[in-house]
């Protein structure tokens, strides 16, 4: 068992990557075979990730399932994988999302093998990124991931896909260059790329601030935070359904994960000095982007803006610690904020994924994403309408769904930091419900809008399956978030302790 445990993460990274590479050689005439292989690999990876949960000891913040090999000796770069409570939920989210996109991609006609290959490879790379404990290895995965997503949008995307892919690529690439520079500087100073070493390495405040800003640019683009968010709506609109699902459900989380894994622990003093910046941008995201979402006429754009607004809760929750300490004199409440941010990431994975799938269900049938082209869909697709209302309600933070948990915790924690943070964040109660339910009204309610809506067929078995799984997860996490929170708790407490201790060089 130990032998398996130390290889488990590697297996989770390379099984989908190798499987994906193999699929590239399956010809288009054997689409069914390609789909079956992809599904089996995705399911195996998912089951393997459940083994991680089964073997995970949530009482400690220590790294588990660790594997460390020297990779490039000259730069002391290691192939070093391992997980703690912060990365484990995101890895399981990744493997789960992969299963879902493979199933939902069943109807894809064009280059099926390549399509499935891209998603499998992407999945392995994302797991690699979430489990990398060497900064250089992280960077390799972080960059490599761009390629399959770039291709997914560029090949199976909508009419404006080239514009969208390049905008997507330039934004993220632009951000990651700063990260690379920061990592090299850190290596030159500390002589190590090991994330754990960087966490402990003392740095002057001024240097921390530069490092913090460099990381922030890289991760803010990924989250995305205002004002570097405009690539996301374009990417979503052009991406095929599966691409949107992975993009929203997992890829956006890379930004949030980077903040807790790199920005906060490597430059905690800078984070404390500049938390106003992150908090300010988060609140702009929540309120301003909430308004922008209200104005959208394209369903995917609306959900994309809604994503940005909801990710504002992630960044807000993660950066409340210092303001809470300043306001109340102790750290009580800090873990609440960070937990809220983390839960929000997982929850947003379910809900945004489900909403993009829902748009996909409609797009597959009517080839339009325009809200105005619909109306009265509930008449012809009553079961689909039930799921859609559930997911859009979850998106507006309804208690009993996962969408409530993270927002609730972040707002409670924000109140401890500053009344106005909580006040502005709580605006989402009204704005989120506004854009979500207004969309429901325009698309699902009313008399049948036109002949195409009249001809709509309700969900097929495959669509039922993915909607049911996501619905159960959304409700399950909303009704009982304790297991997830417990899984992360030790790591979050450790993180809070770490970032509230100065590491300015003496």
Q: Segment 255-294, which members bind other proteins (CB under 8 A)?
A: 288, 291-294
d(CA 480, CA 275): 31
Q: Which of residues 6-65 bind other proteins (CB under 8 A)?
A: 10, 14, 17-18, 21, 24
Nearer to other proteins, 202 or 434 (CB): 434
Which of 243, 280, 283, 275 lies closest to 259, judged by CA? 275
Report the residue number, 267 or 322, with the smaller CB distance to other proteins: 322
- If one asks whether residue 379 binds other proteins (CB under 8 A), the answer comes out as yes
Q: Which residues of 24-35 are buried (b: 16+ CB within 10 A; e: fewer)?
A: eebeeeebeebb
- Structure letter (DSSP) for residue 28: G
Residues touching other proteins, count (CB under 8 A): 84
Shortest distance, position 167 Cβ to other proteins, whole Å:
6
Residue from 39, 166, 205, 366 in contact with other proteins (CB under 8 A)? 166
From residue 396, alpha-carbon distances to 310, 376, 377, 402, 450 in Å are 10, 21, 20, 10, 28
Residue of 1, 3, 69, 74 that binds other proteins (CB under 8 A): 69
Spatial separation of the C-alpha atoms in residues 280 and 392, rounded to whole Å: 27
- Which of 66, 143, 373, 458 binds other proteins (CB under 8 A)? It is 143
What angle do helix axes 88-104 and 482-499 make, rounded to 10 degrees? Answer: 130
Contact range with other proteins by CB under 8 A, out of 31-39, 52-60, 148-156, 180-188? 148-156
List the one residue from 28, 200, 364, 486 that touches other proteins (CB under 8 A).
486
Q: Of 212, 217, 335, nearest to 272 (Cα)? A: 212
Nearer to other proteins, 267 or 409 (CB): 409
Distance of alpha carbon 395 from alpha carbon 393, whole angstroms: 5
Rule CB under 8 A: say whether 326 interacts with other proteins.
no
Q: Does 403 bind other proteins (CB under 8 A)?
A: no
Interface mask toward other proteins for 443-482; x: CB under 8 A? -xxxx--------------------------------xxx
Helix (H) or strand (E) holding 327: helix 321-328
Q: Within 10 A of 107 (CB to CB), how many other CB atoms are there?
A: 12
Residues 199-238: x where in contact with other proteins by CB under 8 A, - otherwise, as a string: ----------------------------x--x--------
Which segment (82-90, 178-186, 360-368, 393-401) binds other proteins by CB under 8 A? Answer: 393-401
Distances (CA, A) of 379 to 360, 433, 446: 19, 23, 8
């Amino acid at each position: 068992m130990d032998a398996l445990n130390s290889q488990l993460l590697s297996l989770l990274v390379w099984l989908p990557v190798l499987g994906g590479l193999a699929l590239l050689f399956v010809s288009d005439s054997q689409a069914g075979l390609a789909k079956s292989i992809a599904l089996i690999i995705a399911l195996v990876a998912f089951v393997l990730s459940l083994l991680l949960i089964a073997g995970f000891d949530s009482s400690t913040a220590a790294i588990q399932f660790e594997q460390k090999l020297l990779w490039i000796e000259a730069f002391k770069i290691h192939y070093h994988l391992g997980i703690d409570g912060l990365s484990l939920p995101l890895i399981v989210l990744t493997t789960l999302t992969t299963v879902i996109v493979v199933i939902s991609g069943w109807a894809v006609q064009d280059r099926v093998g390549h399509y499935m290959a891209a998603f499998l490879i992407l999945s392995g790379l994302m797991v690699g990124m979430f489990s990398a404990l060497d900064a250089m290895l992280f960077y390799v995965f972080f960059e490599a991931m761009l390629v399959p997503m770039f291709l997914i949008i560029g090949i199976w995307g909508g009419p404006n896909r080239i514009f969208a892919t390049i905008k997507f690529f330039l934004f993220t690439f632009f951000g990651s260059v700063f990260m690379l520079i920061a990592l090299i500087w850190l290596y030159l100073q500390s002589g190590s790329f090991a994330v754990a070493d960087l966490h402990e390495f003392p740095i002057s405040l001024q240097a921390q601030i530069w490092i913090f800003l460099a990381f922030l640019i890289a991760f803010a683009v990924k989250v995305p935070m205002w004002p570097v968010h405009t690539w996301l709506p374009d990417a979503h609109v052009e991406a095929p359904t599966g691409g949107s699902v992975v993009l929203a459900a997992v890829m956006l989380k890379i930004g949030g994960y980077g903040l807790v894994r790199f920005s906060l622990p490597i430059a905690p003093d800078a984070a404390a000095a500049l938390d106003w910046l992150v908090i300010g941008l988060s609140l702009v995201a929540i309120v301003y982007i909430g308004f922008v979402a209200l104005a959208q006429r394209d369903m995917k754009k609306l959900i994309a803006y809604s994503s940005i607004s909801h990710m504002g809760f992630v960044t807000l929750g993660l950066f409340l610690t210092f303001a809470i300490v300043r306001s109340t004199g102790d750290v009580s409440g800090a873990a609440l904020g960070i937990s809220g941010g983390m839960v929000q990431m997982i929850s947003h994975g379910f809900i945004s994924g489900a909403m993009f799938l829902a748009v996909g269900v409609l797009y597959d049938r009517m080839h339009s994403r325009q809200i105005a082209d619909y109306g009265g869909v509930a008449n012809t697709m009553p079961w689909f309408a039930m799921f859609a209302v559930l997911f859009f309600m979850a998106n507006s933070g309804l208690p009993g769904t996962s969408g409530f948990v993270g927002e609730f915790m972040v707002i409670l924690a924000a109140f401890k930091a500053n009344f106005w943070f909580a006040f502005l964040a709580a605006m989402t109660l009204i704005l989120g419900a506004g854009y979500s339910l207004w969309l429901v009204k325009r698309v699902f309610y009313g008399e049948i809008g036109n002949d195409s809506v009249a001809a709509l067929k309700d969900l097929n078995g495959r669509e039922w399956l993915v909607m049911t799984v996501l619905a159960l997860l959304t409700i399950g996490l909303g009704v009982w978030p304790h297991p997830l929170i417990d899984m992360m708790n030790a790591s979050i407490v450790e993180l809070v302790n770490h970032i509230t201790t100065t590491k300015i060089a003496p």
